[in-house]
Chains A and B, each alone.
Chain A
């Protein structure tokens, strides 16, 4: 069974632009969670989607948003990019809501904001 896939793997943007990242979960998994990883803050939870609804949200500004499609694929959008948004963005999928299920991570999308 294929693992979690994320596209693109690398991205360079400039301040003020917006970006959309994509995540395809493991087949059959219905929950997708997003995390941001930076050297300073470590791994931080962004949000979780289950059945096309945001179920859970971390402490990030409204510039960070996401959505989930009927096939469980998810996208994450960051508007008005700031230098501090440079990070590795990781997507994780689980069979059901993440609280009671194991999360499996993708390879991540590395975003560099110049």
Chain B
């Protein structure tokens, strides 16, 4: 069965520092991958997605992610974190088991930003 692993439950970075959030997936073929962000009490906002093509994907709010097939990873990066980036981040993969098509989410990584 497909799965998504976000190894870091909670990360704290200083404002202005760089950020990398890890995501590993399990799927035999090329997956459709997403990163979503959730602020407290809110729904999920799409940051970026990877379907095919260029393995470095640019998203909103200055985020980017790189798809690495050899490592089954889709890590999210930002060169300089702002206080407003504090939120929970979810990596997701489309479930193609049994012609499903729904999203399978990781457990999320909560990001705290120190002033």
Contacts and interface: CB of A to CB of B under 8 A. Distances in A.
Interface string A74-114: 00000000000000001010000111101111111010000
A43 B102 contact: no
A62 interface: no
A42 B107 contact: yes
Which range holds the interface residue count of chain B? 20 to 34
A72 interface: no
A105 B44 contact: yes
Contact of A56 (B36, B101, B104): B101
- Chain A binding site: helix, strand, loop or mixed by DSSP? strand
Which range holds the interface residue count of chain A? 20 to 34
Given A43-B90, A98-B94, A99-B96, A90 B101 contact: no
B43 A56 contact: no
B56 interface: no
A105 B43 contact: yes
B45 A105 contact: yes
Interface in A45-67: 45, 48, 55-56, 58
The 10 closest A-B pairs by CB, nearest first: A99-B101, A43-B105, A105-B44, A45-B102, A107-B43, A105-B43, A98-B101, A108-B43, A42-B107, A106-B43
Interface of A: 4, 6, 33, 35, 42-43, 45, 48, 55-56, 58, 90, 92, 97-100, 102-108, 110
